Amino acid sequence: MIPNLPPKPRKTPVQARSTATVDAILEAAARILETEGLEGYTTNAIAKRAGVSIGSLYQYFPNKDAVTAALVRTDSETMAARMEEVRCAFEGRPIRDCIDALIEVAVCHQFDRPMLARLIDLEEHRLGQDFGLSEAKQRIVQVVRSLLAQSGLDLPFDLDTVTQDVFALAHGITDAAGLNGETDRPRLNTRIRHAVLSYLGVPAS
Amino acid sequence: MIPNLPPKPRKTPVQARSTATVDAILEAAARILETEGLEGYTTNAIAKRAGVSIGSLYQYFPNKDAVTAALVRTDSETMAARMEEVRCAFEGRPIRDCIDALIEVAVCHQFDRPMLARLIDLEEHRLGQDFGLSEAKQRIVQVVRSLLAQSGLDLPFDLDTVTQDVFALAHGITDAAGLNGETDRPRLNTRIRHAVLSYLGVPAS
DNA sequence: TTTTAATATGAGCTATCACTCATATTTATG
DNA sequence: CATAAATATGAGTGATAGCTCATATTAAAA
């Protein structure tokens, strides 16, 4: 008899079509962020581009931020999975090769849709620790952290700092390149590899 | 008799009090972006925090974007002026020292108000080439570009690429540190200096 | 002082956005 | 088939944002 104040969490899709609806919504959300930016990023626009009614959207997401959070989470988990996969595949092989492959993954993730990556990043920080966004991000960081820990390299700063900085500088270079309209991904990879390896103090090949 | 379709450009302040009004508006805009983010960044909120009526705001800015553009321009011009000043002051002295000082300026600009810097950056790109924002940014880049050109260093890539990447990686590291809540600026300077110098191939001291 | 220009005000208009709900349709279940 | 559960719909609602305008106040000009 207690008036359910927050009936927030909505239905979880059980049939195939509702799963498709949710997928379409997230895909549409990403495309709108990418092409229209935050200005055009409205729930009505998302539903429309998804080919779904606005009512359907709110049957699976309690509010707009929940859509964004789901988008962020999907994005992070995809990234985490790819990074872990690479780490696993390069077990035992030279660190340089693994770093190369990880850079490839990170760049691929951010460089093809620079505006989307940028806005997802922004929203991720705005939504903060709510919505439990950070788990996947932790996994991503952990891949690189453990790689560096096992590398035997003489790091210029403590492990966590180096991990963070390597991510940050790669992210910064990719972001600038993407917004600058560059399209040559191998070249970008080369530059980032140079920045990362020289930061880490790995001697040039 | 032509119906002035775009009566957009508003009054330019001539008296002292109106100049103060404009300044208050821009200062309020910055503070709101910093503390409330884009959510709370409304013209009514800006006017309120500036201690000014909403009508006054629209007497000097044709629309909201014009306020943002003015904020971005002010920000860029301040940065450009400081960079040029440093460049001038370090004429003839070792490149390493000049780079250090430039990093100091850049970090100071971004690290103390990370959220503001981030959102200004975002809005700068959204407003694009309209509003003539890019002039100051060009000046900023030119300072580093010319420094590198005269350095005699054997750069790892072409001059423009290196200039862009050095900015981008410093920006990325600072951004991450700021959002991470770090407060130790000297330490951050050290890390960025390491990243920049090793990217440039300057031998460790 | 009188007149004119500059500046300031804020209630209110319009558009739009996040979100609801009553209803309809589709799928699963017995 | 009949019944119930899941899913889909979209017009409509309340709130708020950007912005206007008629009016008031202050400062400069004559």
pLDDT of A9 reads 62
Distance B44 CA to C5 C1' (A): 27
Identify the band that residue A205 occupies on the pLDDT scale cut at 50, 70 and 90: low
Q: d(Cα A101, Cα A108) in Å, to the nearest integer?
A: 10
Which whole number is the average pLDDT over A88-112?
96
Contact (CB, 8 A) for B47 and B57: yes
Percent of chain B with pLDDT over 90: 88
In chain B, residues 7-26 whose CB comes closer than 8 Å to chain A: none
- Which residues of chain B neighbour A161 with C-beta distances below 8 Å? 191
Per-residue pLDDT reduced to its tens digit, A12-23: 989 999 999 999
> Which residue type sits at B201?
G
Considering only alpha carbons, which residue of chain B is nearest residue A126? B37
Instruction: Decide: helix, strand or coil at residue A35.
Output: helix
* Residue B155 phi, psi dihedral angles, 5° rounding: -70, 145
Identify the band that residue B134 occupies on the pLDDT scale cut at 50, 70 and 90: confident
Query: Mean pLDDT, chain B, as a whole number?
Result: 94
B5 has pLDDT over 70: no
Q: d(Cα A8, Cα A2) in Å, to the nearest integer?
A: 15
* Residue B88 phi, psi dihedral angles, 5° rounding: -70, -45
pLDDT of A172 reads 98
* Residue A109 phi, psi dihedral angles, 5° rounding: -70, -30
Per-residue pLDDT reduced to its tens digit, B82-115: 999 999 999 999 999 999 999 999 999 999 999 9
Per-residue pLDDT reduced to its tens digit, A129-168: 778 878 999 999 999 999 999 999 999 999 999 999 999 9
Percent of chain A with pLDDT over 90: 88
pLDDT of B128 reads 86
Picking from B156, B168, B194, the nearest residue to A172 by CB comes out as: B168
B52 has pLDDT over 80: yes
Which among B148, B136, B149, B122 has a CA at the least distance from the CA of B81? B136
Distance A129 CA to D30 C1' (A): 66
pLDDT of A4 reads 38
Identify the band that residue A52 occupies on the pLDDT scale cut at 50, 70 and 90: very high
Picking from A172, A194, A198, the nearest residue to B175 by CB comes out as: A172
Identify the band that residue B8 occupies on the pLDDT scale cut at 50, 70 and 90: low
**DSSP letter assigned to residue A154:** -
Identify the band that residue A7 occupies on the pLDDT scale cut at 50, 70 and 90: low
Q: d(Cα A120, Cα B173) in Å, to the nearest integer?
A: 18
Q: B165, A173: Cβ pair inside 8 Å?
A: yes
pLDDT of A5 reads 41
Contact (CB, 8 A) for B22 and B60: yes
A3 has pLDDT over 50: no
Which whole number is the average pLDDT over A174-183?
96
Contact (CB, 8 A) for B87 and B97: no
Interface test with B, best of A173, A179, A196, A205 (most B CBs within 10 A): A173
B201 has pLDDT over 60: yes
Shortest alpha-carbon distance between residue B15 and chain A (Å): 36
Residues whose CB falls within 8 Å of the CB of residue A128, separated by 6 or more in sequence, listed in order: none
What is the Cα A37 distance to its own chain's centre? 17
pTM of the predicted model as reported, rounded to 2 decimal places: 0.94
Which whole number is the average pLDDT over A83-93?
96
Which whole number is the average pLDDT over B46-56?
98
If one counts every other C-beta atom within 10 angstroms of the C-beta of residue A15, the result is 8
pLDDT of B6 reads 46
Which whole number is the average pLDDT over A77-104?
96
pLDDT of A131 reads 83
Chain B interface includes A45 (CB < 8 A): no
pLDDT of A91 reads 93
Per-residue pLDDT reduced to its tens digit, B177-188: 999 999 999 999
Which among B18, B45, B23 has a CA at the least distance from the CA of B34? B45
If one counts every other C-beta atom within 10 angstroms of the C-beta of residue B38, the result is 14
pLDDT of B133 reads 73
Distance B44 CA to C9 C1' (A): 13
Per-residue pLDDT reduced to its tens digit, B142-168: 999 999 999 999 999 999 999 999 999
Chain A interface includes B165 (CB < 8 A): yes
Q: d(Cα B156, Cα B134) in Å, to the nearest integer?
A: 27
Query: Mean pLDDT, chain A, as a whole number?
Result: 94
